[in-house]
Amino acid sequence: MKKLALATAILAACTTHAVTAQEAPPYENWVGGFAQYYNADADKPEPVGGLDEGKGFGAEMGFRFDPSWAIRFELGRVLIDNDDNNRSSLADDGTQLGADLMYFLEDDAAYLFGGIREQSLTDSYRMASLGLGKHWVTGENWRVITEAATYYDFGQGYNEFSLKLGLAYVFGLNNAAKSQPDTDGDGVYDAVDRCPNTPAGVRVDATGCNIDLDGDGVINSVDQCPRTPAGVAVDARGCAFKDSDGDGVLDNVDQCADTPSTDRVDEVGCSIFEETEIFVELDLLFANNSAVIDNPESEMITDFVDFMKRYPNTNASIEGHTSAVGTEAYNQALSQRRAEATRDMLINRYGIDASRLSAIGYGETRLKFTENTAEAHRLNRRIEAKITATVEEKLTR
């Protein structure tokens, strides 16, 4: 039986406010219609099973009696296809009647619901419902409905799910909410909003103004020193005066004067360093039965040399390899020649100290590719080397 992979996301991203929610919900009642994707349990109905996915449509009515709680009644019709691979199965259709208790999250970010469904197909089924949804505002009285729900049959233990998309008309709007506009949408009505143009997403206090956590008169969205001690005079950035290098640490405790403005600093004004591991690799290929380096000035080789010169405390082990063609003894000797040729090139052409380089051949003992193909053999005729260094890097703001 074919299965549709359920991939649905009910987005719930709403602005958080410092003020409390309204005492009444934004609307009281709604009616709507919907279309539905329905996935039936493969074992349904007994004894042959064979129902598959289908569709549905219907109508609903909801009554919101509290800012967080509502009840909803739903009447729909479902049309379920049969599994093409089950010759004994038949398609089925019928009605579905449901009732749910709904819990709306803060600011109507989303809602959770649970209830019962009475499904009348060829047989009757009584199921528990559980789901997640959201009403998307598209106008003063219109909402788009999106939902995902699962169902559990009390009798045979069937597990099913559905996705819903609908449109609802809301009515019974709260008069207090309509009569007290909130132009900037910060949760504070215009009549008491002292900052009527607050940017979207900014936390505000009871007067509609951006919260100033450290009380220095500079709002948090522009305050670069959000922990200024009480009573200290600050500039337009919220940082104390007499911070000569502008790192957010006052001169009287700054132990590293003139810190670059791009550096992240600790509590005494000094740049913060972090150990980072960096590395460079060398991977050269050779012609068949050859230890000749075709391009000793390739970018990979010069990068490897530059790294060794920049970090003089590093060493490298040059590892030679061959394909599996030929005898083991011959391949062992050939891999050693390749490793030594690479080492000699780094010493003689680029001036790398010989004490920093070692050469070892592994013959055919470390094949990178085990297939018996020309391409696998070509890729196995190689030199490998890797150098790792630990450096301290400044953290930036």
Domain borders along the chain are: 29-175, 277-394
Is the pLDDT at 179 greater than 60? The verdict is no
- pLDDT tens by residue, 66-120: 888 999 999 999 998 887 666 555 667 889 999 999 999 988 899 999 999 999 9
Topology alike, domains 29-175 and 277-394: no
> The domain at 29-175 falls in which architecture?
Beta Barrel (2.40)
In the chain, the percentage of residues whose pLDDT exceeds 70 is 88
Is the pLDDT at 383 greater than 90? The verdict is yes
What is the reported pLDDT for 100? Answer: 97
Domain 277-394 is found in CATH 3.30.1330.60 = yes
What is the reported pLDDT for 46? Answer: 77
HEC profile for the chain?
CCCCCCCCCCCCCCCCCCCCCCCCCCCCEEEEEEEEEEECCCCCCCCCCCEEEEEEEEEEEEEECCCCEEEEEEEEEEEEEECCCCCCCCCEEEEEEEEEEEEECHHHCCEEEEEEEEEECCCEEEEEEEEEEEEEECCCCEEEEEEEEEEEECCCCCEEEEEEEEEEEEECCCHHHHHCCCCCCCCCCCCCCCCCCCCCCCCECCCCCECCCCCCCCCCCCCCCCCCCCCCCECCCCCECCCCCCCCCCCCCCCCCCCCCCECECCCCCECEEEEEEEEEEEEECCCCCCCCCCCCCHHHHHHHHHHHHCCCCCEEEEECCCCCCCHHHHHHHHHHHHHHHHHHHHHCCCCCHHHEEEEECCCCCCCCCCCCHHHHHHHCEEEEEEEEEEEEECEC
Is the pLDDT at 172 greater than 60? The verdict is yes
What is the reported pLDDT for 59? Answer: 96
Q: Where residue 273 falls among pLDDT bands split at 50, 70, 90?
A: confident
Is the pLDDT at 11 greater than 50? The verdict is no
What is the reported pLDDT for 394? Answer: 74
The CB-side HSE value for 51 (13 A sphere, CA atoms) comes to 24
Which span out of 56-60, 265-269, 386-390 was modeled with the highest average pLDDT? 56-60
- pLDDT tens by residue, 123-158: 899 999 999 999 999 988 899 999 999 999 998 899
What is the reported pLDDT for 292? Answer: 93
Nearest to residue 391, comparing CAs of 261, 279, 260, 264? 279
Mean pLDDT of 295-311: 91
Lowest mean pLDDT among 16-20, 25-29, 309-313: 16-20
